[in-house]
Structure 1
Amino acid sequence: MRRAWLKLTTSLFLTLAAPLAAIPAQAAAPAALRLWRLDCGRIQMNDASPLSDTSAYAGQTRRLSNGCYLVQHGDDYLLWDAGLPRALLDKPLNNQPISATLDRDLESQLAAIGVRPEQISRLAISHYHFDHVGQAALFPRATLLIGAADLAALRAGSPPFADPSLLAPWLTGDGVTDPVQGDRDVFGDGSVTILAAPGHTPGEQALLVRLPQTGAVILSGDVAHLEAQLAPRRVPTWNTDRAGSLASIDRLAQLAAALKARIIVQHDPEDVPRLARFPEASR
């Protein structure tokens, strides 16, 4: 009986510890590890009620930011998310329930820091929604790192809020696609890790970047759209899996506590100043 109890206790401990143990320990930081926050648009929600399936935002409005992020790792560049489509450049926000606009495209912002689109070797996306892949086709030579479940959903059809044509170079077989199962240590040294965070979409991902001076940063993807959603664990109505969404919120919160990391909610305008202001980079 005692042996069976010990076996059960050990198994339960290993199951609960697995998510944290899966995160690689950080090796010596590369000589050049930098993170830029890029402006990938603005979204006006004149009806913010979809941000919570418990009516927490009923009758309210919200203005959302839309951040993309460039990671330099030595001579390699990884782009995290590709923002709103260029067709929305200079479009006015309107009185529809949700409207979006783009002030600057990715190509012009990269040019401002001396980076050419062809230098982006990896394009990692948090999920397949159009506001996160809108300018992906600017980087057809990049390897697309996408959650395997999101890739399967795109290949099976056109999920809500997705426009597969925005990922045409990879869905047609012209581009190199790297489906991500679980977590992924991108460069093999623990400095940049894709985190599995399903719920918003089946293959939703977040990104952990361990900067040598700033410290650890977790880019949220759409695990949350506002900081105010995290503590009360508010789940949007459009998420594909409520239980998965809650588990992913909890996971990011626990990781942030364990690693003393700051969570950057990509759609929250209040989080924009938490990283260096473009064209400066966080180091």
Structure 2
Amino acid sequence: MGAATAPALRRLDLGWFVRPGAETADGRPRVEPAFGYLVRHGGELLLFDTGIGEADEETDAHYRPHRRPLREALAAAGVAPDEITLVANCHLHFDHIGGNPLFARTPILAQAAELALVRAGEHTPEPLVGFPGARYEELAGEAEIRPGLWIVPTPGHTAGHQSLVVRRPGGTVILAGQTHASASDFAAARLAATAAAEGALPPLPEPDGWPARLLEFDPRRVLFAHDASVWEAGSAS
């Protein structure tokens, strides 16, 4: 397909894993997808998240991942790895960076706070991050990386979590990574902000600063790393 004809935004199915009940809101195990996103913007192809990496035996036993190789997913989209000019990960846990080693010498954007966690150890398997030819470009906060393409810090799941804002003529799309477990959770946070703004009496959820910044981009759609549902403006705002 190639960069010139690839869809403007394409979700890549990169497998799934089983989140144990100890990590879910209702205490029951939940099977979650692992998505990456291929973005065509200004004649370039950017990849946001690269799939589930090989972890240690303990981690694999804990999450029981089923991996779909990134090379296979890209081929199904008609794209070769060497057509990707820029990579960004929402954060550097193993289930978001499995395909990073395919991109030796390709810039990989990450927040300084996230790279600090990696350097401190026990954040993610070293071979997934420190592979030969790894070229991380360290960001210290918000950055317009290309005209109309923004990386915005969204700390919470990790200190260096980040989201990608894609300005398009048909409306802004946000790739929110793991800011929320689901689109419904994002919608609930959005409604809580609306309720507060309209004078609802407490108790109300405590707002975070970063969702307000994301909403300043007036997103039409918000997509997530581990949820197939999509938040759309007007559907739950």
Structure 1 counterpart of 2:153, which letter? Answer: A
Rounded to whole Å, the distance in 2 between the matches of 1:209 and 1:270 is: 18
Question: In structure 2, what is the equivalent of residue 264 of structure 1?
Answer: 223
Aligned equivalents of 1:148, 1:77: Cα separation in 2 = 23
- Post-superposition shift, 1:263? 1.5
Where in structure 2 are the equivalents of 1:103-142 lying within 5 Å? 104-142=68-106
Q: 2:121 aligns with which of 157, 179, 187?
A: 157
After superposition, residues 87-236 of structure 1 pair within 5 angstroms as 98-102=63-67, 104-159=68-123, 162-169=124-131, 174-187=133-146, 189-190=147-148, 192-213=149-170, 215-231=171-187
1:43–1:63 Cα contact (<8 Å) kept = yes
Give the match's secondary structure for 2:85.
strand
C-alpha contact (below 8 Å) 1:118/1:141 kept by paired residues: no
C-alpha separation in 1, matches of 2:102 and 2:6: 24
User: 5+ unaligned residues in a row in structure 1: which ranges?
Assistant: 1-30, 52-56, 88-93, 234-245, 275-283
Of structures 1 and 2, the one with the larger relative CO (CA 8 A, separation 6+) is 1
In 2, Cα distance between equivalents of 1:156 and 1:199? 18
Q: Hey, what's the Cα distance between the residues in 2 that align with 1:216 and 1:270? A: 17
Separation in 2, partners of 1:168, 1:50: 28
3-state secondary structure, aligned to 2:167 = strand
In structure 1, what is the Cα distance between the partners aligned to 2:186 and 2:76?
A: 34
Q: CA RMSD in A?
A: 3.0
Structure 1 residue 118, shift from structure 2 partner: 1.5
The corresponding residue for 1:16 is none
Name the counterpart of 1:20: none
- Match of 1:221, SS state, is coil
- Aligned residue for 1:40? 14
Q: Deviations over 1:12-55 (max 9, x none)?
A: xxxxxxxxxxxxxxxxxxx98811110111122241x424xxxx
Q: Give me the whole-angstrom Cα distance separating, in 1, the residues matched to 2:164 and 2:217.
A: 16
Aligned partners of 2:221 and 2:230 also within 8 Å:
no
User: CA offset at residue 137 of structure 1?
Assistant: 0.3
* Equivalent-residue separation in structure 2 for 1:32 and 1:266 (angstroms): 21
Secondary structure of 1:111's partner? helix
Matched residue SS, 1:127: coil
Gaps of 5+ in 2: 190-205, 233-237
Q: Distance in 2 between matches of 1:269 and 1:73?
A: 23
How has the CA–CA distance of structure 1 residues 101 and 197 changed in structure 2, closer, same or farther, with 3 Å as cutoff?
same
Identity %: 34
1:188-227 CA deviation, whole Å, 9 max, x = no partner? x12x1111111211110011112333x2111111111212
CA contact (8 A) 1:126 1:221 kept: yes
- Whichever residue aligns with residue 37 of structure 1, its letter is R
What is the DSSP-based 3-state SS (H/G/I as helix, E as strand, rest coil) of the residue aligned with 1:85? coil
Matched-pair contact (CA < 8 Å) for 1:41–1:101: yes
